[in-house]
């Protein structure tokens, strides 16, 4: 068990090291001078060459790439993600300020997706090759195909502007959360629906399901007690992996609905050339994605104890 834990920690360290290098490298190669962009915005005039040199020296931008990266990595390992160029605030504080809204949106979107996907996938599998099955598959295909930003603006137009049911933008109340969660959760629901259907079809053909039917067990119990639990084992993988994609999708959704989360923070930082914030958001998102993958393995055992021995091997 200890060997497995150390192996996973080693893999996590390697992945995060690669992510940090790529993140810092891509940001370093991005066209544009952050010193010029930020100073011009702050002073409302083109900065002088002396001001540019002073800014670069203050933030270490005049050092070679390797020196900048190692200095930044050393600070990150101590829990210091740097200071925002534009806001002059610690990046860690900014992330902690905006992270709750993003996590709230991600968890709400996952809840919406599961509430939609599991019943729809089961219904589609139970009524295989009927009009119900074809309708469920069409809706799932539609959910995958519709872009988040288009669906978001459509929901704002219908629910907020025409019907006045929800606020147009912002955060803080349940009304502010409904439309963003629907927008973000619909795409994930479409993916999970198709997986639940496929998994349920395989389980419904298993011998133990036939045995339960032959004993006269009611169809509802066969489907939800005997089949669904085993069918959800592969679904856990997708749900866990989708959490990372949900965080990425939150960038677009938060911009559409003007929610003060990591997405709007990242977009504003990109346009302002505020590189420490960009690096911090990407690093936190990648870390969340990797850790979620590890938690998925533990969820396997909870759903199917037979996997525990193989997981420990």
pLDDT band of residue 312 (cuts 50, 70, 90) is: very low
Does residue 303 carry a pLDDT above 70?
no
Are 39 and 274 within 8 A, CB to CB? no
Q: What is the rounded average pLDDT of the residues 132-151?
A: 86
Q: Where are the domains of the chain?
A: 96-261+290-312
Q: Which residue has the higher pLDDT, 241 or 112?
A: 112
Q: Rounded to an integer, what distance in angstroms lies between the CA atom of residue 103 and that of residue 96?
A: 11
Which of 45-54, 99-108, 211-220, 248-257 has the weakest average pLDDT?
Answer: 211-220
Read off the pLDDT of residues 186-206 as tens digits, 9 standing for 90 and up: 888 888 888 888 888 888 777
Which of 112-116, 251-255, 306-310 has the weakest average pLDDT?
Answer: 306-310
Q: What is the rounded average pLDDT of the residues 262-279?
A: 87
Q: Rounded to an integer, what distance in angstroms lies between the CA atom of residue 254 and that of residue 287?
A: 20
Are 35 and 56 within 8 A, CB to CB? yes
Q: What is the CATH number of domain 96-261+290-312?
A: 1.10.3720.10
Q: What is the rounded average pLDDT of the residues 72-92?
A: 87
Does residue 52 carry a pLDDT above 80?
yes
What local confidence, expressed as pLDDT, does residue 310 receive? 46
Does residue 313 carry a pLDDT above 50?
no
pLDDT band of residue 87 (cuts 50, 70, 90) is: confident
What is the residue-wise DSSP string for 111-125? HHHHHHHHHHHHHHH
Q: Average pLDDT, whole number, for the chain?
A: 81
Q: Rounded to an integer, what distance in angstroms lies between the CA atom of residue 181 and that of residue 196?
A: 21
What is the residue-wise DSSP string for 247-280? HHHHHHHHHHHT--SHHHHHHHHHHHT-HHHHHH
- What are the residues whose beta carbons fall under 8 Å from the beta carbon of 188, sequence distance 6 or more? 109, 110, 113, 117, 242, 245, 246
Question: Which of helix, strand or coil describes residue 20?
Answer: helix
What local confidence, expressed as pLDDT, does residue 4 receive? 61
Does residue 143 carry a pLDDT above 70?
yes
Residue for token pair 């958001």: 281
Q: At what angle do helices 228-257 and 148-155 cross, to 10 degrees?
A: 70
Q: Rounded to an integer, what distance in angstroms lies between the CA atom of residue 172 and that of residue 150?
A: 23
Q: Which residue has the higher pLDDT, 263 or 290?
A: 263
Which of 37-51, 187-201, 219-233 has the weakest average pLDDT?
Answer: 219-233
Q: Which residue has the higher pLDDT, 71 or 9?
A: 71
Q: What is the rounded average pLDDT of the residues 217-229?
A: 71
Read off the pLDDT of residues 6-41 as tens digits, 9 standing for 90 and up: 766 777 788 888 888 888 888 777 777 778 888 887
Q: Residue 138, exposed/middle/buried by CB under 10 A (0-12, 13-18, 19+)?
A: exposed
């Amino acid at each position: 068990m200890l060997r497995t834990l150390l192996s996973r920690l080693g893999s996590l360290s390697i992945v995060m090291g690669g992510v940090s290098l790529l993140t810092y490298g891509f940001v370093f190669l991005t066209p544009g001078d952050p010193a010029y962009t930020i100073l011009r915005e702050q002073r409302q005039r083109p900065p002088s060459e002396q001001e540019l040199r002073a800014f670069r020296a203050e933030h270490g931008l005049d050092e070679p790439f390797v020196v900048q990266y190692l200095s930044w990595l050393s600070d990150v390992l101590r829990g210091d993600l740097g200071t925002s160029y534009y806001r002059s605030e610690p990046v860690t504080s900014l992330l902690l300020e905006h992270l709750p809204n993003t996590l709230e949106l991600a968890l709400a979107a996952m809840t919406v997706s599961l509430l939609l996907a599991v019943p729809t996938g089961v219904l589609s599998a139970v009524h295989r090759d009927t009009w119900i099955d074809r309708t469920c598959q069409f809706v799932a295909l539609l959910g995958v195909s519709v872009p988040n930003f288009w669906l978001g603006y459509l929901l704002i137009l219908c629910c907020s502007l025409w019907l006045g049911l929800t606020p147009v933008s912002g955060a803080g109340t349940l009304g502010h959360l409904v439309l963003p969660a629907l927008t973000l959760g619909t795409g994930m629901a479409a993916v999970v629906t198709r997986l639940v259907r496929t998994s349920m079809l395989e389980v419904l053909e298993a011998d133990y399901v036939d045995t339960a039917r032959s004993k006269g067990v009611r169809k509802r119990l066969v489907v939800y007690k005997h089949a669904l639990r085993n069918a959800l084992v592969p679904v856990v993988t997708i749900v866990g992996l989708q959490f990372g994609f949900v965080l990425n999708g939150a960038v677009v959704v938060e911009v559409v609905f003007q929610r003060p989360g990591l997405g709007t923070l990242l977009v504003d930082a990109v346009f302002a050339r505020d590189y420490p914030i960009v690096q911090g958001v990407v690093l936190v998102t990648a870390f969340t994605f990797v850790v979620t993958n590890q938690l998925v393995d533990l969820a396997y055992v909870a759903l199917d104890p037979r996997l525990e021995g193989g997981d420990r091997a």
